Amino acid sequence: MTGIIDRYRQYLPVSERTRVITLSEGNTPLIPAPRIAEWAGAPGLQVYLKYEGMNPTGSFKDRGMTMALTKAVEDGSKAVICASTGNTSASAAAYAARAGIRCVVLIPDGNIALGKLSQALVHGAEVYAVQGNFDDALAMVRQVSETSPITLVNSINPFRIEGQKSGSFEIVDVLGDAPDYQFMPVGNAGNITAYWKGYKEYRAHGKSRKLPKMMGWQAEGAAPIVRGEPVKDPKTIATAIKIGNPASWKQAVAARDESGGGIDAVSDEEILEAYKALASLEGVFCEPASAAGVAGLKKYARTDEAFSRSRAAVVCILTGHGLKDPDRAMAVVPRPRTIAPTLDAIQRELKI
Ligand SMILES: *Cc1c(COP(=O)(O)O)cnc(C)c1O
């Protein structure tokens, strides 16, 4: 069984003797999306979707978690802990189960998509709902990990970033070079940090010639980096990026500035429009937070005419699977119509 550690061993901090905790994560599809380019008003762009929902627990967090759990076990840790808007806990719980160690999860009360919560619970994590938001939960787990023998596996754990940089490697391996632009959602900002690190390292190894402009997108109601100050009470339907004080804030700003990219915000309406467009125009079902980067692509194409007329290679990172949150999908589509069990009834509906 091979996952990202076996595939990219020479770029990762592991040795021959390291026991690898893996679920065969990574190697996710890079799907050409010409209809999304058209939808964004930029039909010349070569748009690709990196479908991270195809990872074992349905999000990119698995890339980081295989490294975090591998190193935790190597260092003799018997337990891991994380704060989570959902996907981190689902992934931590699965990889901890595989490693045979304890997993403790703190989630913001009432804000977790059911798919994600069910994963953490079924994998046997000890889950606590904190009467507060993600930022409160993260502050708590930081303190616990500093004072107790329990390993923190949020993205402030440097091994998470190491694993997640494999996403850039895969994109370069498929395209033969880095893309011109990468559009992605930004929450706690670990992923934009990891991708930028990966692109820079791969180029230093002679695997690519270019570096992409990193285009990060926050939700309007949870856009601390765009506003330049923490948001006390973040609000957005995109729960995976509902974060008011990102842990990797500085690194995200560095990725933006070093790459000549940008970090901006999109509204919940724009996010849901992109979410529906991805599903109905390309057949790709992602979760709402994942669609923030694609909403950003449309917004950016509207404001930058040279870009929208170009043939640039653009990769959008679709961070998580749509099935994580079916309630959200059902809230934005019409319900099925009920009909009689007759040929006549269906033919009348179909008008054929
Ligand atoms: C974690 C997550 C994000 C945000 O990633 P950060 O590294 O926190 O910026 C976006 N989308 C999904 C689906 C996620 O699970």
Tokens of 28: 């996710």
Ligand 1 geometric centre to CA of 319 (Å): 6
Q: Is 239 in the pocket of ligand 1 (CB under 6 A)?
A: no
Q: Is the pLDDT of residue 111 over 80?
A: no
From atom 4 of ligand 1, which residue's Cα is the shortest distance away? 187
What are the tens digits of pLDDT across the range 32-55? Answer: 999 999 999 999 999 999 999 999
What are the tens digits of pLDDT across the range 244-256? Answer: 999 999 999 999 9
Q: Is 194 in the pocket of ligand 1 (CB under 6 A)?
A: no
The answer to whether residues 192 and 327 touch, using CB atoms and an 8 Å cutoff, is: no
Q: Is 208 in the pocket of ligand 1 (CB under 6 A)?
A: no
Ligand 1 geometric centre to CA of 188 (Å): 7
Strands 102-108 and 79-83: parallel
Q: Is 115 in the pocket of ligand 1 (CB under 6 A)?
A: no
Q: Is the pLDDT of residue 109 over 90?
A: no
Ligand 1 geometric centre to CA of 336 (Å): 32
Q: Is the pLDDT of residue 342 over 80?
A: yes
Q: Is 189 in the pocket of ligand 1 (CB under 6 A)?
A: yes
Q: Is 185 in the pocket of ligand 1 (CB under 6 A)?
A: yes
Q: Is the pLDDT of residue 1 over 70?
A: no
Nearest atom (ligand 1) to Cα of 87: 15
**Is the full-model pTM beyond 0.85?**
yes
pLDDT for 112: 85
Q: How far apart are CA 129 and CA 127, in angstroms?
A: 7
Plot region of 195 (φ>0 → left; ψ -120 to 50 → alpha; else → beta): alpha
Q: Is 53 in the pocket of ligand 1 (CB under 6 A)?
A: no
Token pair 């390291």 is found at: 18
Nearest C-alpha neighbor of 181 from the set 296, 306, 315: 315
Q: Is the pLDDT of residue 107 over 60?
A: yes
Q: Is 241 in the pocket of ligand 1 (CB under 6 A)?
A: yes
How far is CA 212 from each of CA 19, 217, 296, 326, rounded to the nearest angstrom?
34, 15, 16, 33
What are the tens digits of pLDDT across the range 214-241? Answer: 999 999 999 999 999 999 999 999 999 9
Q: How far apart are CA 273 and CA 1, in angstroms?
A: 38
Q: Is 186 in the pocket of ligand 1 (CB under 6 A)?
A: yes
What average pLDDT does this structure show over 156-164? 97
pLDDT for 351: 87
What average pLDDT does this structure show over 264-280? 98
Alpha-carbon torsion angle 98, 115, 279, 2, nearest 10? 0
The answer to whether residues 61 and 28 touch, using CB atoms and an 8 Å cutoff, is: no
pLDDT for 165: 98
Q: How far apart are CA 135 and CA 309, in angstroms?
A: 40
**Residue-wise over 304-343: b if at least 16 C-beta within 10 A, else e?**
eeebbebebbbbbbbbbbbebbeebbeeeeeeeeeeeeee
Ligand 1 geometric centre to CA of 296 (Å): 15
Report the side by side order of strands in the sheet with 151-152.
Answer: 126-130, 102-108, 79-83, 151-152
Q: Output the average pLDDT for the chain.
A: 96
What average pLDDT does this structure show over 75-102? 97
Return the percentage of the chain with pLDDT > 90, whole number.
96
Ligand 1 geometric centre to CA of 10 (Å): 26
Ligand 1 geometric centre to CA of 13 (Å): 23
What are the tens digits of pLDDT across the range 122-159? Answer: 999 999 999 999 999 999 999 999 999 999 999 899 99
Tokens of 164: 């997640």
Give me the phi and psi of 322, to 5 degrees please. Answer: -65, -30
